[in-house]
Each structure stands twice: as structure tokens, then as C-alpha cells.
Amino acid sequence: MNRPLRASLIVAAMAGVIAGTLPLGLAFRVPAWVPIGLTADDAVGTPWHGVLRNARWNGQPLGDVRVGLQPLPMLLGRIRLQLSTPTFAGVAERGTRQGFEAANGRLAYPLPLLPGAQAWLELREAGLLFANGQCLRAGGQVRVLVQMAGPDVPQLQLAGTPACKGAEGQLVLASDPGAAFDVQVHASIGQDGHYSVSTRVRSEDPAARLALQLAGFDPGPEGLVRLDSGRAGQPPAP
């Protein structure tokens, strides 16, 4: 290890140790500490053992989130925070590496384009890490469960595995064979948080096709398609 890099790591570790002695509320005012998209009304305790009150992820309520700072990665200039709620647990990382690992559980996910619909994100040992502008590691299992509005509407299930493709992390979600709707979602995200999502739906139901077109899906030879892009932690463009 060369001398400048060693010095930088020592400084980063010392800064992390000092910040770790601060109240959690003060530590979470430092952008480098906060996982992208995570906010809270209040924070109690310290980064080593604290609680975020009424936390939200990209605006979606999480309730109270327990926080625990892992000390050893700080020697390498990495901030690893164990986050947990009654229904979810995972590790968020900032610093020389960015992303998340060991994510397990279920999170509610809003679908503003489909009024009355509800979705849940289910994760099993899911992870996506970036370093030096490149996708470093990805894996685990991701499922999305969607319950559409209306009586006797079956639940839609999509499943896929995060993967690295060049500098980006990618996730392809597909519906089960024989489902009422044939759905594929292609999502990609870079270390800077910029993402793009392409959603394709095939359905022979005229009412469903009309509802999707009203929600911004464009008809084409492969089905109804919608393209979205934005940056993690920021509200999507209307």
C-alpha cells in the first residue's frame, strides 16, 4: 500500500471513530453517512447503537429503524451500517464502497401510476455494491408482489436476481409463466444513483390495456412499454 493511500485511510478511520462518538442525530447530518434515500423525523442514541424515529426510504414509511455501526470496515475507509426493522434487515455501505448487502425482508412500495394498487418488495440476501465507479458485486433474490385494485384480481409476482453489467448494476424482473399479465422489468443503476427502468406488459384485456395507457404506457409490437429514469433518493419526474 503506498504512503498517500495509507494516510488517507488512517484519516478516514480517525474521522469515522470521532463521528461514531457523536449523537446519531449529528452524525446523520453528514451526507457521507446517510444511505441514499433514507430520512427520519428524529434520531436517538449513537451510530454504534441508535434508532431512527419515523424513518422513510424514498418517502416510503419504514417506522423506527435500529442502526448499528460496524467498526472494523472503518479502518478501510468504509462506513457499514446495520439497519433493521421488524420486517427488514440489511447493511448499507458508504465511503470507498457504496451500496447494500445482506438485505432480507419485505418493504411496502408505492405505485402512484396505478391508483388503488399496492406492491411489496421482498429481498433475500440481496446486495449491490459499487467501488471506483464500477459495479463491484451483486446477487441475492428479489421479488415484487403487486395487488391490483378490483375484485377477484389475482396477485402479480415478479422475480429476478441483481447482477453487475459493466459499470452498472442491473435487475431483470419477470412474471411467472401463465400469469394473467406477461410483465418484464429491466432496471439499471450506476454508482452515482442515476437509474433507468423499462417496463413491458402484454395483456389481451382491453380494460387493462386502457388503464396502462392512461398510466403512461405506450403500445408497440412487443406490448405496452413505459420508460422511466431518475436518481435514487429523489422523487421521480412527473
- Residue pLDDT, tens place only, 20-61: 556 787 777 777 778 878 889 999 998 888 999 999 887 788
Residues 164 and 218 both lie in one domain? yes
d(CA 82, CA 89): 7
Average pLDDT over residues 110-119: 73
Residues 145 and 225 both lie in one domain? yes
What residue ranges in 2-96 does DSSP mark as E strands?
38-39, 42-46, 49-57, 60-70, 78-85, 88-95
Scanning 41-170, the segments in alpha helix (DSSP H) are: none
Residue 157 lies in a domain: yes
Backbone torsion region of residue 178, taken as left when φ is above 0, otherwise alpha when ψ lies between -120 and 50, otherwise beta: left
Name the residue range of residue 79's domain: 24-95
Cβ-count burial 161-200 (b if 16+ within 10 Å, e if not): ebebeeebbbbbbbbeeeebbbbbbbbbbbbeeebebebb
Q: Structural domain tally of the chain? A: 2
Return the percentage of the chain with pLDDT > 70, whole number: 84
Residues 53 and 133 both lie in one domain? no
d(CA 146, CA 155): 6
Residue 63 lies in a domain: yes
Q: According to the model, what pLDDT value does residue 60 have?
A: 82
Q: According to the model, what pLDDT value does residue 172 have?
A: 97
Residues 60 and 145 both lie in one domain? no
User: Full-prediction pTM beyond 0.85?
Assistant: no
Gyration radius from the chain CA atoms: 20
- Of 95, 114, 131, the position where a domain reaches its end is 95
- Of 95, 125, 156, the position where a domain reaches its end is 95
Residues 86 and 117 both lie in one domain? no
Residues 73 and 113 both lie in one domain? no
pLDDT band at 76 (very low <50, low <70, confident <90, very high): confident
- Of 75, 95, 115, the position where a domain reaches its end is 95
Residue 158 lies in a domain: yes
Residues 60 and 135 both lie in one domain? no
